[in-house]
Amino acid sequence: MSQSFYITTPIYYVNAEPHLGHAYSTIVCDAAARFHRLLGDEVRFQTGTDEHGDKIAEAAAKQGIAPQAYADRVSGLFRATWPPLAIAHDNFIRTTDPAHIATVRLILQKIFDAGDIYLGKYGGNYCVGCERFLTDKELIDGKCPDHDRPTQFIEEENYFFRMGSYQQALIEHIERHPDFIRPERYRNEVLSFLKEPLEDLCISRPTSRLTWGIELPFDPRFVTYVWFDALINYLTGLGYPDDPLMAKFWPATQHLIAKDILKPHGIYWPTMLMALAKADNKPLDAYLYQHLNVHGYWKTGAGKMSKSLGNVVAPLELAKVYGADAFRYFLLRDMAFGLDASFSEEALVERYNADLANDLGNLFSRVLNMLYQYRGGVVPAAEFPQPDCQELLDLGRQAVQGYSQQMQGFHFHLALSEVWQLIGEANRFVVRAEPWVLAKDPAQQKRLDAVLCALVQVLGLVTVLIEPVMPGTSLAMAGHLGLELPELIGLARLESADLVAAGTTLGKPPALFPRIDTAKVKAKAEKAEAKAALPAETPSPKEKKPMAKEAAAPPAQIEYDEFAKVDLKLGTVRAAEKVKGADRLLKLSIDLGEEDGPRTVVAGIAQHYAPEELLGRQVVVVANLKPVTLKGVESRGMVLAAVGDDKVRVLSPDTLLPPGSKVR
Ligand code: ME8
């Protein structure tokens, strides 16, 4: 029976460009949407951008442009990122869309009229990064632990939403619907938040402090708090209140988020929806979403990947190198939904070679090559029952069921594992059945027909099953197998009929996934790591020889004259600060005893020294290096440091000497 399915990604802030984390959430939603289309459901998939609030106003101001122009640019970047990743959303929403602004104002007015919004006074510790007041408990050393910067104490008049009055109703709803928030660990996390009394939510910002927001319909001195604005996007996208899309899709709403925004989605949003239902004279749970699906975080190297740490992975670059399908497959296969996972290009390549080149690519090419060689590419009919062939086909049907169950539950890695077990079985079946031996034996021709037929049917099943995750590959395989579009075939047909008709003529297969040379990828990763550990400013990576090779060959010998060309001097650090927008760089003011005062030198040691550790310290400087500009700061020289394992230490004399002393 056809059902509705509405899936949403978070709408992404436009204060940074799209990265791997955004790509993951959006790919997951795309795969879930495609899977439901295969089930024959009516599907709507929405993504978009979150464009109001302090954070965006701050980012625009930094670039010296108006917030709207800034939001237009970055929102455009998000929109342009999705098609090359084979993401096919039905709606892209922006919180600056006039229709969204009107919906937010309508909902605010309704909740205000129903008495659930009131004017009050509030004083608290506000974090600009989180765009919210933090409780005392949340602070660590007076700072926001997520943004590592001090909060500001702000006291002001504001409007409040009576969130606290829905606390009990929310607890009861979660208890009655155990998979309202899933996986379970996040449901438990929300329930444990709800053990403490829930305070009312401050939902406005005075225009004296922030104008980049949606004006409150009942008081123009305020704009709407960004979360109250952003969450409503999910309703705007369906044309709340009257559009027929609402009736069709809202009851089938599935939100998808990462764990970072669990509280707004697990607490603010359902209580807002209850207040709206009350204002619309409906039962409190009338508008509650069906499921909140929460995934973990992708990390790169040791830490969490985030825009503020600057260790982000650009999704389009990876898709360009490995193909969108391989990238999608890796993300969905390597992250157990709900848990954190580590990203590395080497792991991606390992998966590619093992699962795509070896398992799937190999099965596809060996089966179709044998068919071509032994039957001129014509798919034979299986006339006589062969138990092992039947067994393989039964495994295929079981895989379809297992896969469907796992996909419904958002266990993408397990769903893919079902498919790859089938591929593995089929490859082992080829080895056991030895079609190349059968081909030589005139008495075994009917058996060879049955073996080839069973294998081609398994390829047909796999073609459809991989469509949600690898749509391009699925389409290419379908083309070679003479199938209809996989999305038209759907899952139901896989349970009964053979997909590839006997008598169809298939061509010689292309290589789906050529193997990738892992040595090359490893060398690239080592080079990147070595570069990241370089102590000093390195303006052009092109000037460096390849690190992997360089490590193997000792540097060439040089004459003393060549060494003497380097003017090494001792300098005293008079001032030090971080370079804005660069995680690795410190701007140092170094006294080399020169008449025109200390020089500015930029050093790539910010991850190894806090600026204050260097004050008053003497360091060795290459004083005759040509000036370079790094992140907008002119650097006149280079500080020497020793690099051992992952430590970087600057060189200093063991007793203070006059600044400008020659180092030989
Ligand atoms: O929070 N690993 O926007 P945002 C996995 N505008 N997923 C990640 C990730 C990572 N390292 N980093 C980000 C906002 N994400 C609000 C949302 S919704 C009404 C408003 C993904 O740009 C993940 O989906 O900070 C996470 O929840 C989202 O990006 C946060 O995006």
The answer on pLDDT for 73 being more than 80 is: yes
pLDDT at 498: 84
Range name among 109-113, 300-304, 398-402, 511-515 with the lowest pLDDT average: 300-304
- Ligand 1 centroid – CA 122 distance (Å): 28
Q: How far apart are CA 53 and CA 484, in angstroms?
A: 48
Query: Taking residues 610-630, what's their average pLDDT?
Result: 89
**Residue 332 · residue 469 · CB < 8 Å:** yes
Among 249, 255, 344, which Cα is nearest to 295's?
255
Bond before 435 cis per omega within 30 degrees: no
Of the residues 29, 127, 202, 389, only one is catalytic, namely 127
**Residue 453 annotated as catalytic:** no
285 phi and psi, to 5 degrees? -90, 10
Query: Which is the catalytic residue, given 55, 100, 144, 527?
Result: 144
Report the pLDDT averaged over residues 443-457.
97
pLDDT beyond 70 at 323: yes
pLDDT at 541: 34
Query: Alpha carbon of 554 to those of 221, 437, 526: distances in Å?
Result: 69, 55, 18
Residue 144: active-site member: yes
What are 8-26's pLDDT values in tens digits?
999 999 998 999 999 999 9
pLDDT band at 547 (very low <50, low <70, confident <90, very high): very low
Q: Which amino acid is at 480?
A: H
State residue 21's pLDDT score: 95
Prior bond to 555 cis, omega within 30? no
Q: Which of 14, 25, 93, 410 to mutate to test the pocket of ligand 1 (most atoms within 8 A of CB)?
A: 25
| Closest C-alpha to ligand 1, atom 3 | 12
Domain boundaries, the chain: 4-295, 332-495, 560-650
Query: What are 74-82's contacts with CB under 8 Å, separation 24+?
Result: 74/14, 74/15, 74/16, 74/17, 74/49, 75/14, 75/49, 75/51, 77/17, 77/18, 78/12, 78/14, 78/18, 78/22, 78/47, 78/48, 78/49, 81/18, 81/22, 81/23, 81/315, 81/316, 82/26, 82/47
Superfamily covering domain 332-495: Isoleucyl-tRNA Synthetase; Domain 1 (1.10.730.10)
Q: What string of H, E and C letters represents the secondary structure of 125-176? A: EEECCCCEEECHHHCECCEECCCCEECEEEEEEEEEECHHHHHHHHHHHHHH
State the number of CA atoms in the 13 A half-sphere of 120 facing the CB.
Answer: 13
Atom of ligand 1 nearest to the CA of 13: 22
| Ligand 1 contact, 130 CB (< 6 A) | no
Instruction: Give the confidence band of 656 by pLDDT, cuts at 50, 70, 90.
Output: confident
For ligand 1, whether the C-beta of 22 sits within 6 Å is yes
Query: What's the whole-number mean pLDDT along residues 334-347?
Result: 94
Instruction: Give percent above pLDDT 70 in the chain.
Output: 93
End-to-end C-alpha distance for the chain, whole angstroms: 83
Of the pLDDT bands very low, low, confident and very high (cuts 50, 70, 90), residue 190 is: very high
**Taking 70 as the threshold, does the pLDDT of residue 509 lie above it?**
yes
Take atom 9 of ligand 1 and give the residue whose Cα is closest: 21
**pLDDT for position 528:** 62
pLDDT value for 634: 87
Q: Respond yes or no: is residue 647 known to be catalytic.
A: no
503 falls in which pLDDT band (50, 70, 90)?
very high
User: So what's the pLDDT on residue 539?
Assistant: 36
* 302 has a pLDDT exceeding 70: no
pTM above 0.75, yes or no: yes
pLDDT at residue 86 in the model: 97
DSSP string covering 297-363, please? -EEETTEE--TTTT----HHHHHHHH-HHHHHHHHHHHS-TTS-EEE-HHHHHHHIIIIIIIIIIHH
Among the listed ranges 74-88, 165-179, 276-290, 578-592, which one has the minimum average pLDDT value?
Answer: 578-592
307 is annotated as an active-site residue: yes
- Is the Cα dihedral 126, 127, 131, 134 positive or negative? negative
**What b-and-e string marks burial along 228-251, b requiring 16 or more CB atoms within 10 Å of the CB?**
bbbbbbbbbbbebeeeebbeebbe
| Superfamily of 560-650 according to CATH | Nucleic acid-binding proteins (2.40.50.140)
Lowest mean pLDDT among 90-99, 292-301, 381-390, 517-526: 517-526
Name the pLDDT band for 211 (thresholds 50, 70, 90). Answer: very high
CATH topology for the 4-295 domain:
Rossmann fold (3.40.50)
Residue 12 near ligand 1, beta carbon < 6 Å:
yes
Residues 533 and 648: beta-carbon distance below 8 Å:
yes
The reply to whether 4-295 and 332-495 are identical in fold is no
Q: Which of 143, 147, 173, 177 is catalytic?
A: 147
User: Quick check: CB of 234 below 6 Å from ligand 1?
Assistant: no
Is 529 or 191 the better-scoring residue by pLDDT? 191
Do 633 and 578 contact (CB within 8 A), yes or no?
no
Q: What is the pLDDT of residues 213-268, one digit of tens each?
A: 999 999 999 999 999 999 999 999 999 999 999 999 999 999 999 999 999 999 99
Catalytic one among 130, 177, 259, 524?
Answer: 130
pLDDT classification of 148: cutoffs 50, 70, 90: confident
Q: Mean pLDDT of all residues in the chain?
A: 91
pLDDT at 510 over 80: yes
